Amino acid sequence: MTLRAYRITGAFAQDALELLHAVTDVRGALEEDDAVTVWLDDALPDMPFDGLEIFELPAAVANASSTGLENDQPILVAEDLLVRPPWVERPATFTGIELIVPRGMAFGSGEHDSTQAALLALHAAWNDPVSFADVGTGSGILALYAMTRGCRRIEACDVEEPAVLAARELLEGADVTLGGPETMPWRADFVVANLTAKEQHAALPAILDRWTQRGPLVLSGMREHEVDGVAARLPRVDARCVRGAFTALTVLPSA
């Protein structure tokens, strides 16, 4: 197979990588502070972000032995919570909760700060719910956390078909639907949504409708200046978890 490689620079380079994880099969990725290099089977799709500079690497470079995957490392989200792709070994000394996600199938495989903020919030608020719902599931990593913790009734949704297919493969036995939260077949005790602030505002009525309030609600994906607008639409905020530029809000069940 011949791959094509693109180096993307600019303020929205990470956003471009997130989109690529959701809409195409990323064969490899190398992340730097203000740039990413991605390896794809086909041409780079249109990127709806301002200020990006995109340079396609020569074919000989794109198909050298390095694709960026061999640079992957386990992601220690918390002292007892680890995310890694299947081709990376678990650290010998780690004994906590381990999430194995094949990065490259869809956005949300543990690299991004918004995903890590959501995971930290889930980890802190976990209360052994009977049911769990993941809105905007991406690769399915947040639902995988619930499955790993023993929750048996899990549903998820995403508006991107590649993400739904990836999540269905990862989450055996879960109910994963294509669409927004209104497509999920039942209400859940613990609900999480890792979305942009614009998506949170649009989906919030349906998210709240799918939440029984018997467990926590976690909303992640907002940047600092967007947090108060989302928080104002919630009954209250019991905890905030910040990772990098992103915040996750937690509403705990009423006593």
pLDDT tens sequence across 170-180: 899 999 999 99
The architecture in CATH of the region 4-67 reads 2-Layer Sandwich (3.30)
Residue-range domain boundaries for the chain? 4-67, 75-251
The answer to whether 192 and 218 are in contact (CB under 8 A) is: yes
- Say which residue the tokens 């992340």 belong to: 31
Which pTM value belongs to this model? 0.74
Q: What integer pLDDT is reported at residue 109 of this predicted model? A: 56
Chain centroid to CA 161: 15
Cα–Cα distance, 222 to 121 (Å, whole number): 13
Cα–Cα distance, 246 to 68 (Å, whole number): 25
Span 74-105, pLDDT tens digits = 888 999 999 988 878 889 999 999 998 875 54
Of 98, 81, 184, 100, the residue nearest 134 (C-alpha): 184
Q: Which CATH superfamily is domain 75-251 in?
A: Vaccinia Virus protein VP39 (3.40.50.150)
Q: Which residues contact 135 (CB under 8 A, 6 or more apart)?
A: 156, 157, 180, 181, 184, 191, 192, 193, 195, 203, 207, 210
Cα–Cα distance, 54 to 43 (Å, whole number): 12
Q: Which residues contact 184 (CB under 8 A, 6 or more apart)?
A: 133, 135, 155, 156, 157, 175, 177, 210
Q: What integer pLDDT is reported at residue 236 of this predicted model? A: 95
Ranges under pLDDT 50 in the chain: 65-70, 105-107
